[in-house]
Amino acid sequence: MGQEATGKFDIAIIGAGPAGYVGAIRAAQLGARVAIVEKREVGGTCLNRGCIPSKALIHCAELLDEAKGSRRFGIRFGDPEVDIAGVRKHKDRCVKQLVGGVKILLDRDLITVAMGTARLLSPTEIEVTAEGDTQRLETQRILIATGSVPLVLPIPGADGEGIITSDDGVDLPGPPERLVIVGAGAVGCEFAYVYSRFGTKVTMLEMLPQIVPTEDADIAEVLASSLSKSGVQINTEARVASIEDRDGGKLVVFERGGETEQVEADMVLLAAGRKAELDDLDLEQVGVEIDRPGIKVDERLKTNTAGIWACGDCIRGIGLAHLSSHEAIVVMEDCFGDGGHINYDAIPGCIFTHPEIGSVGLKEKDAQERGIEVSIGKFPFAAIGKAAALGTREGFVKIIAAADSGQVVGASVVGPGATELLSELTLAVEMGLTVQDVANTMHSHPTLHEATGEAALAAMGRAIHLP
């Protein structure tokens, strides 16, 4: 790691996150000589400050939930206690193991990793600076995969002490007594779940009419109900006006329904989005165009400058780790293989709250906006034997199919195991399967997957166990 980049490379990748390191490995598999430039840590935001550490914290919160609820299953022991130092140790161990694993893979494939800040000198040359030392890297092609950074909203006081972002949220020394979260998308809701379980009084402020605004209203309602039951105060259609210092803490002033309200907190977490990380690249030097969300690319992820590609969060400001990885593979297949495949209508999205949410393809609201006639099949986990055994019966599986052909064009799941159940539905959307195909597939009993088969039947008006 960090060895000097010498010679000429077939491709150089800027960024060693889920797009960069996966793309590098695939290029190496295809016989390319590859270099990666990374200015912070191998693994990027996902492994170091995002997906992995947050899911480690979420697992700890889930264990706490299970321990507190064990008596209803006939299991008794003392009241569980949260050891924050132990929780952080688990989180740090997960990060260390996975980052170390990525480094091993890069070493295995003889991929050169140059640690430092990248600046584009030309479509074939990158300057890498680290601790005052500079080296130049020559390459035939460049893939920009620099990812994104938290968006700090232009709110008076949003850059003061006691204001944190999602990057900081996974690494607090302990849960604050009172926390205000600005933004109730996937990231905001995940942190609300974790900190509310750890004893923090959480208040959420979302400017749109519902939490997790990208999901259908019926999905959001299930999560909102669960968060509210755990003590989270949810305020929708709330626009933050200012954040002020007050008695050693923070006073958040927001507007809702034409009225001005306020809430006190010890800390404020900004979770209202991310933006493409393009600093220091000097893109204008090579003529790469930028649009509002990030670097402008075509349908094959090419920039307007020959020999330079871009993928992942740096082209859209926000994104998903698995989408970024998939896009990087497409670039490498196009450059060194037989051409890569990606279906933007079959991108799975996961929210790791309690209950979990998973969705793919068209939402019901998307179909309505496009004037597409669909058939909806919903089946509740309350009617599934495995869910009853687990004691987690809230939520449902919803399948969205074209009314004329029965083709599955989208699906959403809210409830136990939603993020795992989504895989079958993603495959259905990707392969253009029909609800009859899904219904014809035998689902083992007793499993949560039975809800998928029943939802497919429900879309045809034939659900067996629908109450």
- Is there a contact between 270 and 183 (Cβ–Cβ < 8 Å)? yes
b or e along 434-467 (b: 16 or more beta carbons within 10 Å of the residue's beta carbon)? bbbebbeeebeeebbbbbbbbbbbbbeeebeeee
Catalytic sites, residue numbers? 445
SS (H, E, C) the chain: CCCCCCCEECEEEECCCHHHHHHHHHHHHCCCCEEEEECCCCCHHHHHCCHHHHHHHHHHHHHHHHHHCHHHHCCCCCCCCCCHHHHHHHHHHHHHHHHHHHHHHHHHCCCEEEECEEEEEECCEEEEEECCEEEEEEECCEEECCCEEECCCCCCCCCCCCEEEHHHHCCCCCCCCEEEEECCCHHHHHHHHHHHHCCCEEEEECCCCCCCCCCCHHHHHHHHHHHHHCCCEEECCCEEEEEEEECCEEEEEEEECCEEEEEEECEEEECCCEEECCCCCCHHHHCCCECCCCECCCCCCECCCCCEEECHHHHCCCCCHHHHHHHHHHHHHHHHCCCCCCCCCCCCEEECCCCEEEEEECCHHHHHHHCCCEEEEEEEHHHCHHHHHHCCCCCEEEEEEECCCCEEEEEEEEECCHHHHHHHHHHHHHHCCEHHHHHHCCCCCCCCCHHHHHHHHHHCCCCCCCC
- What span, in angstroms and rounded, lies between the C-alpha atoms of 399 and 404? 15
CA-wise closest residue to 329 among 145, 138, 92: 145
Q: Which residue in this structure is represented by tokens 């199919």?
A: 401
Q: Which residues contact 83 (CB under 8 A, 6 or more apart)?
A: none
Calpha distance 290→264 (Å, rounded): 39
User: In the structure encoding, which two tokens stand for residue 331, read together?
Assistant: 């670039």
- Rounding to the nearest 10 degrees, give the CA dihedral for residues 458, 459, 460, 465: -10
